[in-house]
Amino acid sequence: MNAIILAGGDKEDGFARRHGVANKALIPINDQAMLDYVFRALSGSRLIETITLVGPATVCAPYASARVAVQPDTGDMMKNCLAAMAFLPQDEKVVVATSDIPMLTTAVVDDYLASLAEKKGDFFYPIISREVNEKLYPGVKRTYATLGGRTYTGGNLLVIDPKVAVELARRLERFIAHRKNILALSAMIGYRFLVKLLMGQLTLPEVEERMSQLLACHCVAVECPYAEIGTDVDKDSDLALARRVLSGA
């Protein structure tokens, strides 16, 4: 597989500015940039051949090598991903990671990707149970949804077939565009589906089937035991947790 790390900045990112950097990927965690941890985890993987790092030149240039390509930030995460994917082999699935999951390790990357080897699908999305999160990081604050009687959060290590990427991105952009319009979003998703989701009555197979229809590709939700994949850093409490965990305290 090949991998993409999304390290694009946001000029309006107050979280990054509060911590003295212009780009969230550069927020320091125990004297290292947050991006360093993610990059090290992926670059050490036996299952990843090349890495494309997308972001500002000042952030990404130091990582460039024969194995690591650098592409400029377009200012849009979806466009960044598509631009990077266009230069990769279209017959191999691509791992897409954000730069804000610093607890990620090479062992987790290898185990998770190996678990997908026998699975059929175009778009693999990791989900992590509340129990797994709480066991590793007690008290961590995540957004959860109840499916099949269990409560899950999503992860930030996606696997995508490049052949479906353009259409997948187009359809995801429609969801993003309507995310604050509940009526339009409900019409897209389906009112019955949305009500069952909000009431915690959906099962994983139902979610996979409906998302596959909406995104025009075979979507697979992968329950995994790795809280590291689902614990991103986007607020001060997350950063404090990352600094504590990664200091070994």
- Residue 181: the pLDDT is 67
- Residue 106: the pLDDT is 97
Mind listing the pLDDT tens digit for each residue in 113-150?
999 988 999 999 999 999 999 999 998 888 888 888 88
Residue range 2-166+220-246, CATH number: 3.90.550.10
pTM of the model: 0.90
Give the rounded percent of residues in the chain with a pLDDT score beyond 70. 95
Average per-residue pLDDT for the chain: 89
| Mean predicted confidence (pLDDT) in 45-56 | 94
**Which among 13, 166, 21 is positioned nearest to 79, based on CA atoms?**
166
- Residue 103: the pLDDT is 96
**Band of residue 23 on the pLDDT scale cut at 50, 70, 90:** confident
**Which among 103, 10, 95 is positioned nearest to 55, based on CA atoms?**
10
- Residue 178: the pLDDT is 63
Q: Which of 170-174, 229-233, 238-242 has the lowest mean pLDDT?
A: 170-174
Tokens (6 digits) for 124: 């693999």
Of 219 and 172, which is predicted with more confidence?
219
Mind listing the pLDDT tens digit for each residue in 73-103?
888 888 999 999 999 999 999 999 999 999 9
Give the rounded percent of residues in the chain with a pLDDT score beyond 90. 63
- Residue 148: the pLDDT is 83
CB 130 within 8 A of CB 153: yes
Q: Would the pLDDT of 231 be above 60? A: yes
Helix (H) or strand (E) holding 186: helix 182-189
| Mean predicted confidence (pLDDT) in 4-16 | 83
Q: Please, how many CA atoms are within 13 Å of residue 80, restricted to the half-sphere of its CB?
A: 24
Residue 130 Cα distances to 98, 133, 152, 153, 212, angstroms: 21, 5, 6, 7, 25
- Residue 107: the pLDDT is 97
CB 101 within 8 A of CB 157: yes
Q: Would the pLDDT of 49 be above 90? A: yes
Per domain, the residue ranges of the chain are: 2-166+220-246
